[in-house]
Every structure is written in structure tokens, then in C-alpha cells.
Amino acid sequence: MVDAEVHEHEPPYVVGFFVGSLARDSLNRRLSRALVRLAPEELQLQEIPIGDLPLYSYDYDADFPTVARDFKAAIAAVDAVLFVTPEYNRDIPGGLKNAIDWASRPYGKNSFARKPSAVIGASPGKIGTAVAQQNLRSILSYCNSPQMNAPEAYIQATPGMISVEGDIGDESLEEFLRSWMDDFRLFIQRVLTVLPQATKNLTGAP
């Protein structure tokens, strides 16, 4: 059991990020690596993995499995969350939706409540991940997560634009992503100043 006062409104801020694709070398995993590199020093990014979660069922609500308890504890331990997601069939991937369902349950234990969030995604398509992001924003609104609604970030990826290591091959895109991450830092500070988070008991309990 760890008692820790987290979510202070002064930086640095710890940002937990979710990669919507489960593929090892996905385009959005590359994008997440780029964002880690380009983030201002006031943001400390760490991935919150989603791939080991079983399919959610409310049958688990009375007694969450350890992997789900650890997942919720990881979200409780960060100041803000960042979603880096592709678009599958005009929506977010099923694995990401499953993770959100786990985080928001059981009733009254929603891990995203008052947690600042931002959404970004890359796709080869001309509209990037616009439709998936709008659907995700609707879900986050229901989960009472304050969202950075602007600037929006729908990245149309071209071959060689983002390397496996997260290096950006397009100078204008790199500058945009750097500026976007700085805007996210300012958004987190505004939210946590207005909605300071209470001391959390980080036990992983649902």
C-alpha cells in the first residue's frame, strides 16, 4: 500500500499515454515515441500498456483481476492522460475501448474523472484519425475527463515520415508536434489549477 499525494498543479507533470494499436511496430507507436522526444521538460511521459487486459465484463466488478487493479493504479498515479490511436473501421480499436471500459468501472470508481486528457493519431488516410478521435472524445466526455479540444491533431502519415525510433522526417510536422505538446502542458496546468486532485491511495483497488 502506497499513500502518495499526486496531481499537484505545478510542473513537472507525469503523463500516462495509451497506444491504441497493439501491433509492436504500429505507426501510432512510432508517433508516441516521437511525442516522448518532443515533449517539453515539464512533461514526463510513461506508457500505460493495455494489451494484457482481458475483455471487460461487469462480472469482474466485485473483484477485479490483478492486471486490471494495476492498470487502474497506473492511471491514478499520473497527472494527465494522452491517447495515441489509429482508426479502425471509423472508430477506435477494440483494445483501447476495452481498456477505457476497465478504467471507468466499477460504478463510482471512474479513473478518468477530472483527469486532463488529449487525443492524437496518425493514419495514411487523408482525414487522419478524425472520426475515431471524435468518437473517443464522446467517450471521454461521458467519463468526465477534461479534454484539450484544440489544436486538433489528425496526422496523415506518409512513408518515411516517422522512423521506428520516433524521429520525424518532416520539419513542419516536428514543429507542429512540439508546439502541440507544449499546448498540452499548458492545458494540464490550467485544469489542475482549477480542479486540483485529492490525495490518492494507490493500492490498485477498483
The strand order across the sheet containing 117-123 reads 43-47, 13-19, 80-84, 117-123, 154-156
The pLDDT tens digits of the residues spanning 154-205 come to: 999 888 899 999 999 999 999 999 999 999 999 999 999 998 775 444 444 5
User: Torsions phi, psi of 82, nearest 5?
Assistant: -130, 130
Percent of the chain scored above 90 by pLDDT? 83
82-to-14, 97, 105 alpha-carbon distances in Å: 11, 14, 19
The total number of residues shown for the chain amounts to 206
Q: Can the peptide bond before residue 49 be classed as cis, meaning omega within 30 degrees of 0?
A: no
The pLDDT tens digits of the residues spanning 30-43 come to: 999 999 999 999 99
The pLDDT tens digits of the residues spanning 170-184 come to: 999 999 999 999 999
What is the pTM (predicted TM-score) of this model? 0.91
